[in-house]
Structure 1
Amino acid sequence: MNIMDLLPAGEPVLFVSPHLDDAVLSCGALMAAVADRCPTVVATVFTAAGSPPHTYAARRFLRDGGGGSAQTLYQTRRHEDTEVLSQLDAEPLHLGFPDALFRRRRFPAGAALVLPELAHRYPTYRYDIARGRVARGDRPMIADIVTAMSAAAARARVIFCPLGVGRHVDHLITREVGTRFPERVVYYSDFPYDQTSAPDRGFVARHRLTSWKWDVGIAEKARLIRGYRSQADGLFPGGVIPAAPEVYWSAGR
């Protein structure tokens, strides 16, 4: 596929990112390639945290991110995202929905103070967030996300959304947003999770998706990824960012 045929010069492009790094992790090389020809917006969905008490999984995430408060970490992450996207001439759009680690359900306040896991929709990472089951209480959020990014989506010639490789619930919710734009959506393979996990073959088959790769500028993408300083070490503990081609999935193109 010739991506430049898909993205004519001057046509706006929208990348929808679950978290404050996912679009660049998965699409940074392609974004760099089209930066000088297409006005680009990166709409990041889950850009906020919640107040304590936090679950063990959330506390561990905060420690890995520098040990500060949740509000401080997410302020730092939003700043990092703005800095990195400025290098790509991309406009950041932070939608302000809370990360899965911090989303709560209705539960008596006293019990939640004793065991915060009781009050959260996803009490653990491994058995809840990464299991691939979107909580019933989160399902109405999909329409709210579509509304929040409606102006950017209306202008975009192509809308890039995650394929949900790795089955993180926030990625699956964002993938579902893409299904609302069947004529314009291109799904991207979620890096680095696609290095150890396979695509959802059922989703690929239902939407009749075929894959194609982009490998121009992959080495340079590592510099952009390292701009997410609060996250890079946790994602790549050995400091080596694999130079893997970006993978995209689309239908009828």
Structure 2
Amino acid sequence: MSPSLSSLTIVSPHLDDAVFSCGTLLERTPGATVVTVFAGTPRDAPLTDWDRQCGFASAQAAMQARRTEDAKALAMLGASPVWLDLLDAQYGGAYRPEDIEQHLAPCLDRRRGGMVAVPLGLFHSDHQVVHEACLRLHAGHPELEWLCYEDALYRRLPGLLQDRLASLLRSGWRLTPVIAPTSASGAKARAVRAYASQLRAFGEGGYEDTDLPERLWRLERHDIG
């Protein structure tokens, strides 16, 4: 079963995750919105190793450039960004799922239907806390078609996907694979390249997972008896 290509909101932990994981879905759903949770700009954070590898001299310069890259990439796919002012973990951001839930709720409260795609949270603390927050939001929005996407760059790490699916099943969630849209236009690949600073740090071959087919799962509650 494939997702209905109606209005779409994608919840993205960082400024690149939505395009890396769901660029083809975005391409096939014009007018989509991408809500990036950890898009805040730190004021006094020291330069991190990752930002140095990306070629930046400060955390502020890094986040400003990443927002510019994100806007460019999403425009290529006909999507619009919404940036929340929360700090990612490398800048000292430390949030509970209920904190993220509080910030995401207004973005979903404005919806009257359509799809929302959220990360499975396979790896990285930022991805995991966003995943947990989205599970908390699910019950309050039965009018939405909920999908989970496999976090690109992490989904091929041994055992992570299987462990997540099993954990969700034990917790009362049923995930059913859906047929993800395919692309022959190359639009996703061009959008991925718009994140030039990130790709610099990943190095050659470090982001090849973004070229593989996207995989989506329908998210539903079920009675575990």
**Where on the TM-score scale, by shorter chain, does this alignment land: which range?**
0.7 to 0.9
CA distance in 1, matches of 2:11, 2:184: 20
CA distance in 2, matches of 1:76, 1:13: 26
Q: Distance in 2 between matches of 1:204 and 1:49?
A: 37
Deviation at 1:151, TM superposition (A): 4.8
Matched, 1:237 2:204: yes
Letter of the structure 1 residue corresponding to residue 183 of structure 2: G
Alignment of 1:71 onto 2:60: yes
Alignment partner of 2:127 out of 147, 171, 174: 171
How far does residue 237 in structure 1 lie from its aligned partner after superposition? 3.0
Q: Which residue of 2 aligns with 1:223?
A: 190
**Are residue 43 (structure 1) and residue 35 (structure 2) matched?**
yes
Q: Separation in 1 of the partners of 2:45 and 2:190? A: 35
Q: How does 1:31-180 map to 2 (within 5 A)?
A: 31-35=26-30, 39-52=31-44, 54=46, 59-103=48-92, 138-152=96-110, 154-166=111-123, 168-179=124-135, 180=137
Percentage of identical aligned residues: 30
1:13 equivalenced with 2:8 (yes/no): yes
CA distance in 1, matches of 2:108, 2:150: 23
CA 1:219–1:236 in 2, change beyond 3 Å: closer, same or farther? farther
Q: Which residue of 1 aligns with 2:138?
A: 181
Q: CA deviation at 1:239?
A: 6.4
Preserved contact between residue 233 and residue 239 of structure 1 (Cα < 8 Å) = no
CA contact (8 A) 1:29 1:218 kept: no
How many residue pairs are counted as aligned between the two chains?
Answer: 209
> Letter of the aligned partner of 1:214 in structure 2?
A
TM-score (norm 2): 0.82
- Does residue 195 of the first structure (1) align with residue 156 of the second (2)? yes
Match of 1:208 among 174, 178, 203: 174
TM-score, normalization: structure 1? Answer: 0.73
Q: Deviations over 1:160-182 (max 9, x none)?
A: 1000112x111112112321124
Alpha-carbon distance in structure 2 between the residues aligned to 1:169 and 1:19: 12
The superposition leaves residues 106-160 of structure 1 with CA deviations (integer Å, 9 ceiling, x where unpaired) of xxxxxxxxxxxxxxx5xxxxxxxxxxxxxxx5344123222452455x2451111
In structure 2, runs of 5+ residues without a counterpart are: 221-225
Alignment root-mean-square deviation, CA: 2.5
SS of 2:152's equivalent?
coil
